[in-house]
A and B are shown apart, each in its own frame.
Chain A
Amino acid sequence: MSMNALISFLTTIRWQDIVDVVLNSYILFRLYVLFRGTNVIRVVAGLALLWIFQRLAAGMGLIVTSWAMQGIIAGAALIIIIVFRNEIRNVLQAKNIRAILWGFPDKSARAPIDSIVEGVYDLARKRTGALIVIPGKEDIDEVVQGGVRWQGLVSREMLMSIFWSGNPVHDGAAVMSGDRIARVGTILPLSHRDDLPGKYGTRHRAAVGLTEQSDAMVIVVSEERGEVIVVKNSDIIPIQDNLALKRQLRTHLGIESELDEAHTRRESMELGMAAAVCFLCMAGVWFSFARGLETLTSLEVPLEYVNRDSRMQILSASDNTVRLHLSGSGALISSLKPDQVKVKLDLDNAVNGENVFTISHDNIAMPPGVRLNRIEPSQVKVVLDFPITKEIPIQVDWVGTLPEGLILKTVRLNPEVVPITGVGKILNNIRTLYTEKVQMENLRSSGQMTVGLALSPASLKIAGGFKDRVEITYIIGKRQG
């Protein structure tokens, strides 16, 4: 693209286009921020890829492939909503409007890591079996079963008491939620893996089972050996000491040291990259939809006259409309409304008589981004005239027939003439002003009647306070001989 073409392109961008791209980029970015780390993002990315393939297939004329992909995309979109309904619900329900619109998830939200670590190692020292679930991004409500609602703040003592063998709920898993233990005595799905070491019992199998179906992390304290393991993504990670457990927890919860500037930089860079990718995606979509398809159209636009001398009247014009041949993006052209395009002729310098106006771009107002290719006709002749007043005699326009043997002998009108105002060229050719048609069938004797005047053309006006009606006095006689 040459520099001129680039400048030409930039000048056609409307403020609405900029708002369009920025707004949708931000919406995409917010969706990324809210759903990042979950499978939703991965599936949506897959869908986007499918959509690109579908467009390519359609572009190459692969009709069946394009249809099939369209079907898959439509089905997949529905499936996403069903499968990830819990994640979507969590985002929309658990967060306030501020968090949804511009907040960034605070991963360090009151995570009681120290309490968990202390509690876990106390349990290990006392050889008390324990199963603690720390959910990730994904909702695990659909995976786990049973349990008792707890909602207690996490503390070392709390963990000890939950998994104390005398506690009725000590056999199940404790599920964390933020700084609280949300449920206890929860039953986790068991893994069907047959490669687990024999030393691991049901508790370990349950931990692996849950991590096979979610992104949760499970801490297992062995009752027999007092050892601590962490299970995540189906991987069993033996924990040697409390520092290792703390590291695992920090990693899982996304909590890094406040002094870890590298992480902060990485985080900022990731978000910055995501924002840039969102913007580029939306700009690309906008370009492909709004700019990519050049569309031609033609509009029949009425001529509008401005700055006419109030004493002058437009007598005639060679054309009342002009046809404009326009081009622009498909979206812009399809959203174009006739009232957005106006053709105005300035009559400021018009003279009495015939005036020829050349219609150019300067006479045409239209939305930015729309290009004018041709004007038909490019010239319009407009005849202007000053109005004059003239006295015109009135004549009755009789129709029908009088009853047999009668004759309409004389007619007198009141008034006989009326002053009429109109443009000179028209009025000079008018010699008589006729009444509306007057039927004679019912006239049997002399009399009077009042009828209206038929002003034609309609631009003519009766002046001098005269009414548009005339009184007819007629004399009817008998036909002699």
Chain B
Amino acid sequence: MAILICLSTELVSVDAADDLSRPSPTGMSLERAVMCEYIEDYAPHHQAVVFSIEVGKISCFTSFIGIRSSTYTLHKWYRRDELVTSKRLTLKPPSWSTYSSIQLREADKGPWRVEILDNRNQLMKTLRFSVTD
């Protein structure tokens, strides 16, 4: 596979509220979900919808609120509707931020999407972006 997944989970501050977050039946809701070039100081940097492969690595940053008990979220990475990887990320109450990343290679150019799902496999949000030259 041309993609290397670098996955890390860490607590980050939840500052900027992103647009739509679909409340989960578990009670938690997705407060923010963005694609960015890197995470620094618990915050996403260089948020964008198009990434050059020269960036080398991109991340999907998500933050949740209203978490009642320890649970998890799924980040499913698709390239042109083809599932490339699926990562399970732990969430802890009451609010939690986490992210997943991929290493970019030449063959990764094209349209991508990341589906963010709750522990019941319910789709909470889809982030769409492209990887270009």
User: Is there a chain B Cβ closer than 8 Å to A314's Cβ?
Assistant: no
Instruction: Kindly state the separation between the CA atoms of A124 and B130 in the bound complex, as whole angstroms.
Output: 125
User: Is there a chain B Cβ closer than 8 Å to A395's Cβ?
Assistant: yes
Q: Are B49 and A410 in contact (CB under 8 A)?
A: yes
Assuming the contacts A393-B126, A397-B110, asked whether A480 and B46 have C-beta atoms less than 8 A apart, the reply is yes
Chain A residues with CB below 8 A from B9, complex form: none
B80-133 at interface with A (beta carbon < 8 Å): 80-81, 109-111, 113, 126, 128, 130, 132-133
* Min C-beta distance of B91 to chain A, whole Å: 25
Q: Are B50 and A398 in contact (CB under 8 A)?
A: yes
Assuming the contacts A431-B81, A432-B111, A434-B111, asked whether A398 and B132 have C-beta atoms less than 8 A apart, the reply is yes
Chain B residues with CB below 8 A from A396, complex form: 111, 130
Cβ-neighbour of A401 out of B47, B48, B52, B81 (below 8 A): B52
Chain B residues with CB below 8 A from A479, complex form: 46
* Min C-beta distance of A38 to chain B, whole Å: 87
User: Is there a chain B Cβ closer than 8 Å to A75's Cβ?
Assistant: no
Instruction: Kindly state the separation between the CA atoms of A431 and B113 in the bound complex, as whole angstroms.
Output: 10
Q: Are B133 and A399 in contact (CB under 8 A)?
A: yes
> Which of B109, B110, B126, B130: most chain A Cβ within 10 A?
B130
Chain B residues with CB below 8 A from A45, complex form: none
User: Is there a chain B Cβ closer than 8 Å to A409's Cβ?
Assistant: yes
Chain A residues with CB below 8 A from B46, complex form: 407, 479-480
Q: Are A440 and B50 in contact (CB under 8 A)?
A: yes
Q: Are A399 and B132 in contact (CB under 8 A)?
A: yes
User: Is there a chain B Cβ closer than 8 Å to A400's Cβ?
Assistant: yes
User: Is there a chain B Cβ closer than 8 Å to A301's Cβ?
Assistant: no
Chain A residues with CB below 8 A from B109, complex form: 399
Interface size on B, residues (CB 8 A): 19
Q: Are A408 and B49 in contact (CB under 8 A)?
A: yes
Q: Are B133 and A400 in contact (CB under 8 A)?
A: yes
Chain A residues with CB below 8 A from B133, complex form: 399-401
Cβ-neighbour of A395 out of B45, B113, B132 (below 8 A): B113
B17-55 at interface with A (beta carbon < 8 Å): 45-50, 52
> What number of residue pairs across chains A and B have CB atoms under 8 A from each other?
55
Instruction: Kindly state the separation between the CA atoms of A350 and B132 in the bound complex, as whole angstroms.
Output: 46
Chain A residues with CB below 8 A from B52, complex form: 401-402
Cβ-neighbour of B48 out of A393, A400, A409, A430 (below 8 A): A409
Assuming the contacts A393-B126, A396-B130, A431-B81, asked whether A402 and B111 have C-beta atoms less than 8 A apart, the reply is no
User: Is there a chain B Cβ closer than 8 Å to A411's Cβ?
Assistant: yes
* Min C-beta distance of A378 to chain B, whole Å: 37
A398-453 at interface with B (beta carbon < 8 Å): 398-402, 407-411, 429-432, 434, 440
Instruction: Kindly state the separation between the CA atoms of A93 and B57 in the bound complex, as whole angstroms.
Output: 98
Chain B residues with CB below 8 A from A481, complex form: 45
> Which of B45, B50, B81, B113: most chain A Cβ within 10 A?
B50
Chain A residues with CB below 8 A from B113, complex form: 395, 431-432
* Min C-beta distance of A453 to chain B, whole Å: 13
Q: Are A397 and B126 in contact (CB under 8 A)?
A: no
Chain B residues with CB below 8 A from A402, complex form: 50, 52
Instruction: Kindly state the separation between the CA atoms of A398 and B50 in the bound complex, as whole angstroms.
Output: 7
* Min C-beta distance of A117 to chain B, whole Å: 111
Instruction: Kindly state the separation between the CA atoms of A459 and B81 in the bound complex, as whole angstroms.
Output: 19
* Min C-beta distance of A260 to chain B, whole Å: 101
Q: Which residue of A lies closest to B81 (CB)?
A: A431
Q: Are A440 and B111 in contact (CB under 8 A)?
A: no
Instruction: Kindly state the separation between the CA atoms of A213 and B46 in the bound complex, as whole angstroms.
Output: 116
* Min C-beta distance of B39 to chain A, whole Å: 14
Instruction: Kindly state the separation between the CA atoms of A410 and B129 in the bound complex, as whole angstroms.
Output: 9
Chain A residues with CB below 8 A from B110, complex form: 397
Chain B residues with CB below 8 A from A411, complex form: 49
Chain B residues with CB below 8 A from A434, complex form: 80, 111
* Min C-beta distance of A357 to chain B, whole Å: 32
Instruction: Kindly state the separation between the CA atoms of A408 and B55 in the bound complex, as whole angstroms.
Output: 14
Q: Provide 12 A-B residue pairs closer than 8 Å at the C-beta atoms, listed in order of the A residue.
A: A393-B126, A395-B111, A395-B113, A396-B111, A399-B133, A400-B132, A400-B133, A401-B132, A411-B49, A429-B81, A430-B81, A432-B111
Known: A395-B113, A398-B132. 16 other contacts (CB 8 A): A393-B128, A398-B50, A398-B130, A399-B132, A400-B132, A401-B132, A401-B133, A402-B50, A409-B48, A411-B49, A431-B113, A432-B81, A432-B111, A434-B80, A434-B111, A479-B46
Residues in chain B within 8 A of chain A (CB atoms): 45-50, 52, 78, 80-81, 109-111, 113, 126, 128, 130, 132-133
> 7 nearest interchain CB pairs?
A398-B130, A408-B50, A395-B128, A401-B133, A398-B50, A407-B48, A411-B49
